[in-house]
Amino acid sequence: MSKTYVGSRLRQLRRERDLSQASLASTLGLSASYVNQIEHDVRPLTVPVLMKITEVFGVDATFFSRDDDSRLLAEIQDVIQDQEISPSPVELQELSELVYNHPSVARTLVDVHRRYRTIRDKLTLVTDTRRSGPGAQTLSMPHDEVRDFFYARQNYLDDLDHQAERLAHDLNIAEFGIRDTEAAIATRLREKHNIEIRTQPDLGDTLHRFNPETGTLELAARLSTGQRAFRMAAELSYLEAGSDISTLVSHEPFTSEASVNLAKRGVASYFAAATLLPYGLMHSQAETAGYDIEYLCQVFGVGYETVASRLSTLQRPNKRGIPFTFVRVDRAGNMSKRQSATGVHFANSGGTCPLWCVYESFAQPEVIVRQLAQMPDGRNYLWVARAVRHHQGRFSDTNKLFAIGLGCESRHADRTVYAAGLELSDAAATPIGAGCRTCPRTNCAQRAFPAINESLDIDAHSSTIAPY
């Protein structure tokens, strides 16, 4: 092992656990002076100390790897490459050192840039539409804030996940099919919480509605068994873990009530999935089945999107699954959901890459497509994608079609059924990028916009396969 200095990372870990240097040293069986020297990059991290840290704190060894900062590095590149902010280029090595040695500063810069972009977009909206009064939008960014809330926790909430697993055990969910699971949750709501459950033939655009004052939970008749169970489990989470959800969310510096409420709903949905697909059972079934999403849908009786999303949360210390990135994209390229336990990064503007297999899946709904994709940093990812349809209640209703993508680094590919028969060499990888505006590839025929950090050099009398 080459010399690895991890002072800022160890300090971050210690502060996250609210430990003093002396307490950390005692826990690791080291002297306080030794820990102090590691934190100040006087001494490198040794393999025995690394193994002790991963064992005691349950972090992956890649926590101390420069590669683990790839997403943050990509995000800070977005900031620096925005010519409205920084017209002068900054060397990648300088940015890498900033991210590695001062990750908190880098995250602050990313957050400031995101706030600037949001304010700019909102002001543009106000200017264009002359909106004012009570209906005007506030300068908040709830979806970005909630996404970062989950990303900072590697898309895994340990205490709530264990609590949901205990609830699943009490309900004997591991022994049931989805119909019996639905019945068990309904019984729990009725008998323990005095909730009356009604199935309504027509709730309009509403899929479920709970009135805490009357204790009535209404469910749309068009929901499938798994969908009904999920929504009941989400409301059950507020009743059985409401104080824990509120406490968890209250510790995050959200900037608006909308962000707080969206975070609570996101955590409640997490709890519901962790109840219907309890961690131990889900992990063992996923490992045995090679992370076969369609097979797991049959085992647990829930939809493709629910299973794919749950797979991206399997990051329990000492029982980790594959670190996946989960995305949901529409045909216009809007990314309405993204959850990540990996360092993969998507641009916040300019769209994603048209060469990405997630878009190919729209041409073959309900069929899984696979792709070995290579990002500009040289990393290869295995992506599987499938288009799914959502809730068409009436003939006149607008059809909802989304592509669900699940990706992991190619080093994990052999643990999945999706690697079978797929060439995993660099030569077979499709070069893609995070988005045209930030992608450095110069010879891409699909490029829609020039890179924002490159000046255009146009020869009026020659052309290439790339438009810029």
Q: What is the CATH number of the domain that holds 55?
A: 1.10.260.40
- Examine residue 170 and state whether it is found in any structural domain, yes or no: yes
What is the longest distance spanned by two Cα atoms in the chain? 79
Q: Which domain holds residue 354?
A: 325-431
* pLDDT value for 287: 95
Question: Could you tell me where the beta strands, DSSP code E, fall in 66-212?
Answer: 196-200, 208-211
162 plus 271 within the same structural domain: yes
* pLDDT value for 5: 66
Q: Which residue has the higher pLDDT, 453 or 178?
A: 178
**Mean pLDDT within 283-287:** 95
Rounded Cα distance between 372 and 24, Å, is: 41
Instruction: Quote the number of domains for the chain.
Output: 3
Beta-strand pair 196-200/216-220 = parallel
Which pLDDT band holds residue 170 (cuts at 50, 70, 90)? very high
- Examine residue 238 and state whether it is found in any structural domain, yes or no: yes
- Examine residue 100 and state whether it is found in any structural domain, yes or no: no
What are the structure tokens assigned to 347, written together? 């641009």
pLDDT value at 125 more than 60: no
- Examine residue 135 and state whether it is found in any structural domain, yes or no: no
* pLDDT value for 233: 96
**Mean pLDDT within 247-259:** 90
Which pLDDT band holds residue 393 (cuts at 50, 70, 90)? low
**β-bridge partners, 74:** none
Q: What is the CATH number of the domain that holds 332?
A: 3.30.450
- State the average pLDDT for the chain: 83
- Examine residue 199 and state whether it is found in any structural domain, yes or no: yes
| CB of 186 closer than 8 Å to CB of 232 | yes
239 plus 163 within the same structural domain: yes
Going from the C-alpha of 114 to that of each of 82, 118, 140, the distances in angstroms are 11, 6, 10
Tell me phi and psi for residue 124, to 5 degrees: -65, -45
19 Cβ partners below 8 Å, 6+ apart?
Answer: 27
* pLDDT value for 362: 92
First to last CA, the chain: 43
- Examine residue 112 and state whether it is found in any structural domain, yes or no: no
pLDDT value at 316 more than 70: yes
Which pLDDT band holds residue 452 (cuts at 50, 70, 90)? low
| CB of 164 closer than 8 Å to CB of 171 | no
355 Cβ partners below 8 Å, 6+ apart?
Answer: 373, 430, 431, 432, 444, 446
Q: What is the CATH number of the domain that holds 206?
A: 1.10.10
265 plus 350 within the same structural domain: no
List the 196-200 sheet strands across, edge first. 196-200, 216-220, 208-211
* pLDDT value for 134: 45
Lowest mean pLDDT across 108-122, 294-308, 405-419: 108-122
| Highest mean pLDDT (candidates 2-6, 54-58, 132-136) | 54-58
Domain closes at, from 254, 276, 298: 276
**Mean pLDDT within 176-190:** 88
**Mean pLDDT within 396-414:** 88
* pLDDT value for 139: 46
- Examine residue 118 and state whether it is found in any structural domain, yes or no: no
- Examine residue 348 and state whether it is found in any structural domain, yes or no: yes
Task: Report the percentage of the chain scoring pLDDT > 70.
Answer: 85
pLDDT value at 333 more than 80: yes
**pLDDT tens by residue, 411-449:** 899 999 999 999 999 899 999 887 777 777 878 888 887
